[in-house]
Structure 1
């Protein structure tokens, strides 16, 4: 099987609120819009919000959206100013990454990650 591209599709309960969160609070750039949906750039991937098929209840999403940032302290300050609740403040994990947790309006976990300069993800060029 040859994979040509990929994206994460979310079907939020409240499309306009979730659209504002990803577009305005997180500042993701819009890749394209279509009737009933918006696709955002998210590093090497895409996040798509589809207005159709959303649930009226809590999210049944199992997993997390992982977004790498350059400076986690700056991002934490920016999100705090924007009124985004921080689920777990920035901290260095035992595996060496700096992580902070937030959630979108449907409760989808979002892990914001800074990879330190000395971390194997930066040193290993395979």
Structure 2
């Protein structure tokens, strides 16, 4: 048996605010929409990962999930301009990432990061 995919399922009474955050700002595609469930993603293959943590690093809380982007500054500016609460960073971390925490419209703490070269 092999794990083929991991999907995060987040309960929300209204999917509309999630579209603004995940589709409009982060640029994810809607790859499935049945009205009662909408899945955001990309057709490009991604690594499957599941992290278990007792803290978020640098004394931060454990985020609900992490999203790696190719341009952290653009993501930060877009989230800030849209009024989503930035709760940490941007910060250069000693383990080689630059990141910030933002609260999505469903209350989830999202770690937005880029690996430093």
TM-score of the aligned structures, taking structure 1 as reference length: 0.67
| Runs of 4+ off more than 3 Å | none
Structure 1 residues not aligned, in runs of 5+: 46-61, 118-126
Pairs aligned (count): 102
Higher Cα Rg, which structure:
1
**CA contact under 8 A between 1:18 and 1:105: conserved in structure 2?**
yes
Q: Give the aligned partner of residue 52 of structure 1.
A: none
Label 1:66 to 1:4 Cα distance change in 2 as closer, same or farther (>3 A): same
Structure 1 residues 98-121: Cα deviation after superposition (integer angstroms, max 9, x where no partner): 11000112321100111011xxxx
Q: Which moved more, 1:18-27 or 1:98-107?
A: 18-27
Structure 2 residues not aligned, in runs of 5+: 48-61
Q: Give the aligned partner of residue 94 of structure 2.
A: 94
Q: Over aligned residues, Cα RMSD in angstroms?
A: 2.4
TM-score of the aligned structures, taking structure 2 as reference length: 0.72
Q: Give the aligned partner of residue 74 of structure 2.
A: 74
- C-alpha deviation, 1:18, in angstroms: 2.9
- Matched position secondary structure for 2:38: strand
